[in-house]
């Protein structure tokens, strides 16, 4: 494959790696789509109250999967464009790459988060033996820790990719020393997201009369919308720019690379932080076993937990 030579300010050729990255993103998107179809094709739950609540938890788990499908599918398209770029177009190539890298980071965290929610929902709706439940709890903890670790790693990689992009744009001579405090702030925020217990925040929310589960559920869907919105806007911007400007953007205005660099870090990091914190909050608030069924549950579940009488659902008529 004939690709772009290694650009000044970088030690590797993103064009040579673009084809493999495009295939990887497409494969992940395909697996996520298959998993979503399997979830949608499951038998419709009965009208019993507990089953409704469990189905609601399963629907919540589909949000990150749908967002990952969109993000990874468009990421595959961006890296396919990069793979076809001609020699000497470093600025064009790395502008597309820095935006695509942000979409890859979101997709990785969202995929693991969706699996965490599915395992959590499975613990709620199945009558498991002690050994099986213990094994699934260990799996849930391991996946949650993986999601937290990915959040911190993603923050580092997003910053590193943006820094590398700016070096390449300015031929390795740009002074970005002022970015150091910005990077420190982003990393500290990432560490806070994975270490601060959601209960510390929800304690205040409950004092103000806010439903903690609804709060985390809303935060999760905000992350989903940010993921889809960022992916669509980034793909449209990159595709339009590469298709209409054939040069290497030598006459581009000075604010352009900084705009791309900031957007490639800010958008993905906000979505990743929202995914991690909301999923941790949902798991912490609902617990495991019977408590997990409260994701999206109504007032009847809260009454049952408080020891109050709950009206039983009418029995099905005999045939």
Over residues 269-293, the mean pLDDT reads 77
- Within 8 A by CB and 6+ apart from 80, the residues are 18, 19, 22
On whether residue 171 sits in a domain, the answer given is: yes
Nearest partner of 22 among 89, 91, 76, judged by Cα: 76
> 285 and 190 in contact (C-beta within 8 Å)?
no
On whether residue 319 sits in a domain, the answer given is: no
Per-residue pLDDT reduced to its tens digit, 205-225: 777 877 888 888 899 999 999
Domain containing residue 177: 14-295
Nearest partner of 298 among 45, 57, 40, 39, judged by Cα: 57
Over residues 107-118, the mean pLDDT reads 89
Q: What is the pLDDT of residue 127?
A: 59
Q: What is the pLDDT of residue 153?
A: 92
On whether residue 307 sits in a domain, the answer given is: no
Over residues 28-55, the mean pLDDT reads 67
On whether residue 310 sits in a domain, the answer given is: no
What total of structural domains would you count in the chain? Answer: 1
On whether residue 93 sits in a domain, the answer given is: yes
Nearest partner of 265 among 154, 176, 110, judged by Cα: 154
Nearest partner of 76 among 138, 20, 33, judged by Cα: 20
pLDDT at 121 over 60: yes
- Within 8 A by CB and 6+ apart from 301, the residues are 53, 293, 294
pTM of the model: 0.80
Nearest partner of 60 among 280, 222, 296, 298, judged by Cα: 296
pLDDT at 289 over 80: no
Q: What is the pLDDT of residue 248?
A: 64
Nearest partner of 219 among 200, 232, 202, 195, judged by Cα: 202
Q: What is the Cα–Cα distance from 251 to 153, expressed in whole angstroms? A: 35
- Cα dihedral 179, 182, 184, 190 sign: negative
Q: What is the pLDDT of residue 296?
A: 42
Three-class DSSP labels, 33-56: HHHHHHHHCCCCCCCCHHHHHHHH
Show the DSSP H helices in 170-318 as ranges: 179-195, 198-207, 212-244, 255-286, 299-305
pLDDT at 307 over 60: no
DSSP 8-state assignment for residue 66: H
Q: What is the pLDDT of residue 73?
A: 94
Q: What is the Cα–Cα distance from 297 to 107, expressed in whole angstroms? A: 28
DSSP element (H, E) containing 210: none
Q: What is the pLDDT of residue 44?
A: 55
Q: Which residue has the tokens 């990159």?
A: 238
Burial class (CB in 10 A: 0-12, 13-18, 19+), 182: middle
- Within 8 A by CB and 6+ apart from 303, the residues are 309, 310
Nearest partner of 105 among 67, 66, 144, 62, judged by Cα: 67
On whether residue 5 sits in a domain, the answer given is: no
Q: What is the pLDDT of residue 76?
A: 94
Confidence of residue 272 (pLDDT cuts 50, 70, 90): very high
On whether residue 301 sits in a domain, the answer given is: no
DSSP secondary structure, 109-176, as one string = HHHHHHHHHHHHHHHHHS---HHHHHHHHHHHHHHHHHHHHHHHHHHHHHHHHHHHHHHHHTTT----
Average predicted confidence (pLDDT) for the chain: 78
Confidence of residue 110 (pLDDT cuts 50, 70, 90): very high
On whether residue 313 sits in a domain, the answer given is: no
């Amino acid at each position: 494959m004939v690709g772009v030579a290694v650009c000044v300010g970088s030690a590797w050729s993103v064009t040579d790696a673009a084809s493999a990255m495009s295939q990887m993103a497409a494969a992940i998107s395909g697996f996520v789509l298959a998993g979503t179809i399997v979830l949608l094709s499951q038998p419709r739950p009965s009208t019993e109250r507990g089953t409704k609540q469990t189905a609601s938890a399963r629907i919540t788990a589909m949000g990150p999967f749908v967002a990952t499908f969109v993000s990874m599918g468009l990421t595959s398209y961006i890296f396919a464009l990069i793979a076809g770029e001609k020699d000497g177009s470093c600025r064009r190539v790395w502008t597309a790459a820095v935006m695509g890298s942000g979409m890859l980071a979101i997709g990785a965290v969202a995929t693991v988060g969706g699996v965490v929610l599915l395992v959590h929902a499975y613990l709620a709706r199945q009558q498991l033996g002690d050994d099986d439940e213990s094994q699934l709890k260990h799996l849930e903890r391991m996946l949650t820790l993986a999601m937290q670790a990915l959040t911190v790693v993603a923050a580092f990689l997003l910053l590193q990719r943006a820094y590398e992009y700016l070096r390449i744009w300015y031929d390795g001579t740009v002074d970005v020393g002022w970015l150091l405090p910005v990077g420190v702030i982003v990393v500290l925020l990432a560490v806070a997201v994975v270490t601060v217990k959601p209960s510390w925040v929800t304690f205040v929310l409950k004092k103000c009369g806010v439903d903690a589960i609804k709060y985390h559920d809303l935060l999760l869907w905000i992350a989903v919308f940010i993921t889809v919105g960022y992916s669509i806007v980034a793909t449209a911007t990159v595709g339009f720019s590469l298709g209409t400007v054939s040069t290497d953007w030598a006459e581009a205005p000075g604010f352009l690379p900084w705009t791309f660099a900031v957007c490639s870090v800010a958008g993905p990091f906000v979505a990743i932080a929202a995914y991690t914190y909301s999923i941790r909050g949902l798991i912490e608030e609902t617990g495991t076993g019977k408590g997990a069924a409260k994701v999206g549950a109504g007032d009847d579940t809260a009454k049952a937990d408080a020891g109050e009488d709950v009206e039983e659902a009418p029995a099905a008529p005999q045939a």
